[in-house]
Amino acid sequence: MVRSNEAESTTADLLLLNGLVLTLDDRDQRFDPGGVAIRSGQIVAVGPRESVQTAFRAAKTLDVTGCVVMPGLVNAHTHAAMTIFRGLADDLPLMEWLHQHIFPAERRLTEEWIYWGTMLACAEMILSGTTTFCDMYLFEHKVAEAARDAGMRALVGEVLYDFPSPHYGPIENGLEFTESLIHRWRDDPLVRIAVEPHALYTCSPPMLQRCFELAERCEVPLITHVSENQAEVEEIIQRYGHRPVAHLERLGMLSPRLIADHCVALDDQDLELLAQRGVQVVHNPESNMKLASGIAPVTRLLAMGVNVALGTDGCASNNDLDLFGEMDTCAKLHKAATLDPTVLPAATVLRMATRNGAKALGWEGKIGELSPGRLADLIVVDFGQPHLTPVYEPKSHLVYAARGSDVRHSIIHGRLVMEDRRLLTMDRDEVMQRVRTFARTIKS
């Protein structure tokens, strides 16, 4: 049995027994039937069922026979509260969608809309196996509160622009607000804060540098959209004489602290710079497909050693937050794009949605795998379904056949937040009704 150093202790808060345990650790250990013991928010043992069951007694035990126990999924890029805009402006090019529909709609946002829109996103993510998400939007103090109330792990940050925000007004206020968020949430067990300038086409070089300096001083991640499509690249070249990645390099902003979202339109020099500087990249295949932004060179990025995580983007451009669907799309899209069925095998894509996401968001070695001492963020996927029968390779099923609705239990920081498909941290009907009410106002 793989067990913590506290061998003398035999108590646990929660035991999961009899499932196929996929640790996704460095040795890719599997235990079937296996067991996981959880205490005080951490995993204290992982191993064969009999060993775990004999060594620990717990206040609660879940029999997960016929299920796969695995790390929770990490949605490394989204705009959670945009659930309230789901389906609002579909089938449009990126810039038209953004400037003629989304930005105008966002001017009407309120704290209440953001809180309940995020709660709806958390409900959707928990129900589909996501235990951690990274968010960029407005009124992010309400996003942080919603994540905490839903029991989700989250890295969040107020979106910053050169122009006045519907939330904080002038940019000076935005930087001050971001720093106050960093101090407010610094010691929270679930929620962390990042500095998040929107994009290179909405943020001037001086502002981008101020954001980078704030992130450096406070030792938090810096997140921005980068090279989402070719039109953006051409605009940045016209303005500054350099492609977006080279522009960031000239500003001194490329580093492992930077999380670059999308990275679709890249040339060879861009790829080399991202790899050399250790930048974290988040791939959002379904959003990129829907907005016709293009196909990010993910296979090349991975081959060059770049850490590539997986995200859904927001519900206004996807239109769901189901990372199981995103994994399936990711794997198949790149096979079609390269005409090579061997690229992005299931194990690689599963890692993008777990360990790579943990690394990108600054939780490497804490989440993304099932090992003693790691934070207890894990999900139980019910394989007793026709579309998951028979099982030859469970990782293949998780990427190509499983659905978010197959997730039976979700545990975050040792807390059971969903049991037998029932959300335990919120009233699902109330959340949906609140958002339906907001939608009537938006539609009017």
Count other C-beta atoms under 10 Å from residue 379's C-beta: 24
Query: 112-143: string of b/e by CB count within 10 Å (b at 16+)?
Result: ebbbbbbbbbbbbbbbbbbbbbbbbbbbbbbb
Tell me the residue type at 112: E
3-class DSSP assignment, residue 336: helix
| Angstrom distance (rounded) from CA 196 to CA 215 | 9
Q: Which long-range contacts (CB under 8 A, 24 or more apart) does 141-144 make?
A: 141/181, 141/184, 142/81, 142/111, 142/114, 142/115, 142/118, 143/80, 143/81, 143/114, 143/115, 143/118, 144/181, 144/185, 144/191, 144/193
Q: Which residue has the tokens 């640790």?
A: 23
The burial class, CB within 10 Å (0-12 / 13-18 / 19+), for 202 is: middle
Are the beta carbons of 329 and 316 closer than 8 angstroms? Answer: no
| Angstrom distance (rounded) from CA 265 to CA 356 | 21
Tokens representing 180 are 């106050």
User: CATH number of the domain at 73-360, out of 3.40.190.80, 3.40.50.2300, 1.20.120.1760, 3.20.20.140?
Assistant: 3.20.20.140
The burial class, CB within 10 Å (0-12 / 13-18 / 19+), for 351 is: buried
Count other C-beta atoms under 10 Å from residue 242's C-beta: 16
Q: Specify the CATH architecture of the domain 2-72+365-423.
A: Roll (2.30)
Sheet order of strands, 280-283 included: 222-226, 258-262, 280-283, 308-310
User: In which residue ranges of the chain is CATH 3.20.20.140 found?
Assistant: 73-360
Are the beta carbons of 370 and 24 closer than 8 angstroms? Answer: yes
Indicate the pairing of strand 222-226 with strand 57-63.
Answer: unpaired
Residues of the chain with pLDDT below 50 are 5-8
| Angstrom distance (rounded) from CA 235 to CA 200 | 10
Count other C-beta atoms under 10 Å from residue 428's C-beta: 15
User: In which residue ranges of the chain is CATH 2.30.40.10 found?
Assistant: 2-72+365-423
Closest by CA position to 25, among listed 375, 334, 370, 332 = 370
Strand-pairing partners, residue 416, are 411
Count of all residues that appear for the chain in the document: 444
Are the beta carbons of 376 and 69 closer than 8 angstroms? Answer: no
- The set of residues, in sequence order, having a beta carbon less than 8 Å from that of 31 and lying 6+ positions away, is 20, 21, 23, 46, 47, 48, 49
| Residue spans of alpha helices (H) in 62-162 | 94-97, 103-106, 111-127, 140-150
Quick one: residue 2, left, alpha or beta (phi over 0 = left, psi -120 to 50 = alpha)? beta
Count other C-beta atoms under 10 Å from residue 276's C-beta: 13
Task: Give me the pLDDT at residue 5, please.
Answer: 45
Are the beta carbons of 212 and 252 closer than 8 angstroms? Answer: yes
Give me the phi and psi of 165, to 5 degrees please.
Answer: -90, 145
pTM of the model: 0.96
